[in-house]
Amino acid sequence: AVAAGEVSSYALLANGTVWGWGYNGYGQLGNGITASQQLTPVQVKDTAGTGVLSGITSIAAGKYFGVALKNDNTVWVWGRNDESQTGDGATGNRLTPSQAAIASVVGIAAGAYHVLALKSDGTAWTWGYNNYGQLGDGTASVRYWPVMVSGVGAVSAVSGGVYSSLLMRSDGAVYALGYNQDGQLGNGTTNTTSNP
């Protein structure tokens, strides 16, 4: 699998490891350092920075951060963390992966500064930047911990835009929320909304 951030790229290998290249000013390559550029792929390390991140089944990329879903259904985030993109209640850039405070995850996606997670029970959870209501909790407040998206029902897929989110319900219905100045929510208006 592959994922593209704004200025960094990621690849998930068949052996469950993740590699990144490109800009690394916020530590978004997860190799324990920051650098203006990384012209060839480097391996994302583990939390301690002594080994490698492994057992990964899916990856996603935000503007300046990376996200990985592990085979134990946990979510790991690294890189820019000014809006608690790591979902662990803290801020401050992470040079190696940090575990988000959520379990039983089967799908992930990322917006510019927020993360979406789909749990095995069909609920969708979000965290991070929320100025346009893209987290779907009815507010426009930054969420440092995962919050459940309300008013959708059983979700089967999630996707993140820059400041918006898309959710597909198990019956195929699509719900959108967040920034909508250019009609990206597809509801015939240009009204931003925090309700799916």
* pLDDT mean by block of 10 residues, the chain; 196 residues: 97 98 98 95 96 97 98 98 96 97 98 98 98 96 97 96 97 97 96 95
Q: What is the pLDDT of residue 117?
A: 98
pLDDT at 185: 97
Give me the pLDDT at residue 23, please.
98
pLDDT given at position 39: 97
184's torsion region: left (phi>0), alpha (psi -120 to 50) or beta? alpha
| pLDDT score at 86 | 97
Query: In the numeric block, which tokens belong to residue 116?
Result: 């979406």
The pTM assigned to this predicted structure is 0.97
For residue 93, the model assigns a pLDDT of: 97
pLDDT at 103: 98
Q: Is 143 helix (H, G, I), strand (E, B) or coil?
A: strand
| Contact (Cβ atoms closer than 8 angstroms) between residue 178 and residue 167 | no
> What is the predicted pLDDT for the residue at 87?
98
Distance CA 85, CA 128 (A): 5
Q: In sequence order, what are the residues at sequence separation of 6 or more whose Cβ sits closer than 8 angstroms to the Cβ of residue 67?
A: 59, 60, 61, 75, 76, 77, 108, 110, 115
Query: What does the pLDDT read at residue 154?
Result: 96
What is the pLDDT at residue 2? 98
Structure tokens at 172: 């195929």
Q: Which helix (H) or strand (E) holds 11?
A: strand 8-12
